[in-house]
Chain A
């Protein structure tokens, strides 16, 4: 097998790195951090049917839908002629767990090598995989990325709340755009201003709080599930927009929860399996740092008072323990039942669990746990929706409508 193209030092200047579209709000902020370090990046937003077709052509069709879409989106972009293949690289995240997702990068390479052997694929991971790439995350960048997640979560949470109730259509989007730009500028400038969280959180919250909202009561619908399908509008057929058009308020748990879930997994495993290592200790420290940041954000959200704060992560962990062991760490693992329980406990009884068709961990953590969660929370109204290149929107929407009919009963 031939060697794959490597991302070298000089490519930092010459190459544009394409980034798949998963969490537009967060990813835009993150890109500005990389730009501050001299990388050129572009967030892909192509979402025509051609994306799916390219995915079907280039990925084993039994592979999971997220892999198919991410790779399809890259191939579609490359085929568009918009990018010079000699000056383009691709970025993909890699988690490195027991789930198939750790293999995305390899499936992507297979597809790319076939058509564009000169294009390097860059891995964004925090597990020390792919060491020989010039694409490196320094501790300082890591810290900035963490802040980007925090800001992204705050923006996403406020935006979802406001746009479901806004009186003047577009008000919430305007606030979002304003902050997306302002935070982007801060990160891009390379200054340390982003650490002035207290002030910035407060201003963001106040700005969103100023959006005029109608007082009507809406059905609140929580969205949990496989990370990519849960967040990516491309994958979930614009689920949030659909819920808003149905007169609901979408409630989407934060990305930080997933980050902390990954961090906690390492030191949890060390404890469960009596296998302490240097890295598990480091993860524990990292976790503590992140948790303190989460607590700060939650505190400020509470003080400001207009928006429901994020779920406290230690609270999530204790909720999980009721249903499943925290040793379940493949895919979204124990986080899914924990989030479902947390939503149900906080009055968001209606929950959509998004999953790629045939997702292996989700057999256990989503469909497998629904019954136990319903037993404890009799009002919980949970529906699992499969996403897949062949599944039609009508089919999915009809099932969501059934859930909503239950909710309105």
Chain B
């Protein structure tokens, strides 16, 4: 070999690592450093350090890492893919390892070494990595190390969606706002990372034997280590955390480099990296402002929407308090009778909204002129219930109402309000001075304010400074607008291509705006938004974001100076409207004594076993959250509002007992999954009539999901499909003779549609189950193809599928009974719907059609949304129960799926009923609902109804759903 030394440079998404090995492959130097996205500079700095010790030596060199790819290309230095580099290092250092798990800044990788070498990395939609942990730590207002400290003192784990950082955030935020212990949240974050790795990466392969853990996060974070070891069931011998973990990949890279014949001195390398040309592939847009003058004019224009101020020390008279306990920030205003501000506050809540507000209230009480009478108070936001209970606030109102109140104060003719906060984008269209439609961001379009903030911090700036930078950027980068995880990689690419921080700052502002307009509002032209647009929310205080919005729309908008405080201001206005003689607000004396403790418990009110947070304020006052229905809250009485979701669910479940043959021919397992939630009457009857004992899988639960998690090959498929894996495992565990689960391209033809397909997932999921669960074979898993519309086909296919039982002559009669049972079930559901409608009308209740798919009655899928609706005093019926009552309206799309065609008819029916509204339930990842959603909206809005869509996934938390539903109620009341 020509050279003595070999150098490996690992440029990851957040760090740079360098390693030198000598001719024997011994590691003789290593360094690990965060690069804060200044890739070239950091690499050069490290090379200079090496140069000091090795000024003239020749090196063989190689670069690796996700951010190293571009650098290597442009600098003309050899490159090795990082997973492969890790593989080489493992071979060298830990030859007896069976599997390797490596977590990096933004990537997660797994290598299986024994039983067929396989190297994998996370797909494009997976956020459970180092950057994700950093982001979560930021959310809690602490460092990653502090997060780690906290996690070690955890008592319990909350389920947190692990697939994607954005999802996880929307799980964590409400937990914090409801007062969950930070220690528990911290440990839950690590558990989410582990779950993500196990389900997303292993994809059906079991991680066992000696497992090597690599990468920065797995080296530095003890809580994360603990969670991995525990989840994989490893003992000390089989869980290896090597000393050199952080630089392991760089070491492998250096091993790879040793085989190269090209030699460089460090000086040559520095030169090469300096000369590396940025490619010109970045797409850029126009500057936000062409000149300083234009900017000054812009500022002046927005100045006119300032509020007046009054002195809290000298003012005398009535005052009203408004609090917006938002997801990441706390906002508070105290206003006078004529709308002047006496006191205002805006700050990050650092996960402790109650403490923050108590502190502010104490300040107000200490400064306030005794001649001020606080006559009313109102609170809104994620933390509404907690704050209202803790501080005896007079009113709790839903955010949408608060924002509308505030916007109308500045612009009585407002047509459109858009609020971009830390975690949410909320938009409302206003018609006839009432809220006409509401659009909220969904999980996969969540480019909101906190994203810019996290980004600014990652680049080492504070938020104000960072956004200022973008104002005069010459070439704002086009960063795309999908989700934050993707935006991260877009930013990385832009940096690699030489974009400046200024350009990126401006680009991020414009991404957020594009996300809002095209994803959330889904506007085709600015005119759709109307003439008078009011923008608000903390994010719009950022001039670059505001300007991007105006530029994208091509028109000027109104931004009140208190943009960030609008929710609180709206609350104060509301409190003023409803003011009594005096407020119930906690008194200064009580406030001095105020303290609280929180603990967690499990509700035993029903089988949902909700995780409860119980916060005690002393004197027997307490606040309970986490409950889906009012049972857990320990206050309300039994809820007997009619609910067709529960009725359907219970009827399906009860069917298992319909037949109980004394000497069954065999036991047949029917999974409670996907299409079975519709066709159970058919199959249960068919098998029962033929003398089989049917066994259903147990009800779905989170545990059921974990049971089958290791057999899921595609981590982006919808949650209802993922659950099917658990149901199969459950039936196998129950020891049934065989599982029956037919494939069906076609569903029942209900007429009134262009075709009657199943969606691809419902149609063919048994095929996927068959090849991905190694316990299944042709004998114990029967999944024939059949078409229920064609009787003779069902008879023939069933005859074949059950050949060994010699049932030929008996099948036709059983099939006919099965058809009759299915028809009876449909009739029964329709009859029950009529009964519910009649009862609701008699009681003067509104009726909500929750429109989804048959399997949405599964409580693990709907997370109890139907109970949330009844808890608001409305009756619930289902799409299939009313679909037959209307004809399909003219559609702009091909109407070719049976379940989906019911949505259109149900929507049409709702438009003919004054006391009904429709909520569409959409499972995350359901591509078909991208088609149906717009159509259902058009039908409803065309008929003067509101459109509300709720996206559901594994996320357990109903915070966002609750806001939407309450907004819907508020809007219905105003109509």
Contact = CB atoms under 8 A, between A and B. Distances in A.
Instruction: Report whether chain A binds chain B.
Output: yes
A401 interface: yes
Contact of B490 (A109, A330, A374, A390): A390
B492 interface: yes
A106 B793 contact: no
Interface centre among A364, A371, A409 (most CB of B within 10 A): A364
Contact of B69 (A374, A378, A394, A406): A394
Nearest to B717: A363
Nearest to A330: B760
24 contacts: A1-B892, A61-B518, A100-B930, A103-B893, A109-B892, A273-B793, A274-B792, A274-B796, A275-B787, A325-B743, A327-B785, A329-B745, A360-B928, A363-B721, A363-B761, A367-B203, A367-B714, A388-B482, A390-B482, A394-B493, A397-B69, A401-B79, A405-B83, A406-B84
B345 to A, nearest CB: 37
A278 interface: no
Interface string B774-788: 000000000001110
B918 to A, nearest CB: 19
A60 B936 CA distance: 13
Contacts of B125: 357, 386
The 6 closest A-B pairs by CB, nearest first: A390-B482, A98-B757, A405-B84, A62-B930, A390-B486, A368-B768
Q: Specify which of B87, B760, B763 lies most central, judged by the most chain A CB atoms within 10 Å of its CB.
A: B760
Given A61-B518, A357-B125, A394-B492, A1 B925 contact: no
Nearest to B758: A98
Interface string B887-917: 0001011101100000000000000000000
A372 interface: yes
B860 interface: no
Contacts of B897: 98
A368 B490 contact: no
B289 interface: no
Interface of B: 66, 69-70, 79-81, 83-84, 87, 116-117, 119, 121, 123-125, 203-204, 283, 444-445, 478, 480-483, 486-487, 489-490, 492-493, 496, 514, 518-519, 522, 524-525, 713-714, 716-717, 721, 743, 745-746, 755, 757-761, 763-765, 767-768, 771-772, 785-787, 790, 792-793, 796, 890, 892-894, 896-897, 925, 927-931, 933-934
A330 B745 contact: yes
B930 A99 contact: no
B481 A275 contact: no
Nearest to A57: B518
Q: Which of A1, A61, A102, A384 is packed against the most chain B CB atoms within 10 Å?
A: A61
B121 A402 contact: yes
B84 A402 contact: yes
Q: How large is the interface on A (under 10, 10 to 19, 20 to 34, 35 or more residues)?
A: 35 or more
A60 B496 CA distance: 31
Contacts of B716: 357-358, 363
Given A49-B283, A273-B790, A63 B931 contact: yes
Interface in A358-393: 358-365, 367-372, 374, 378, 384, 386, 388-393
A165 B70 CA distance: 26
B575 to A, nearest CB: 39
Contacts of A114: 524-525
Contacts of B761: 360, 363-364
B771 A368 contact: yes
A8 B493 CA distance: 48
A60 B934 contact: yes
A368 B496 contact: no
A110 interface: yes
A393 B786 CA distance: 42
Contacts of B933: 60, 62
Contacts of B522: 60-61
Nearest to B519: A61
A361 B763 CA distance: 10
Contacts of A258: none
A404 B69 CA distance: 14
B81 A357 contact: no
A392 B489 CA distance: 7
Given A364-B765, A368-B771, A392-B493, A404 B746 contact: no
B927 A358 contact: yes
Nearest to B70: A394
B768 A390 contact: no
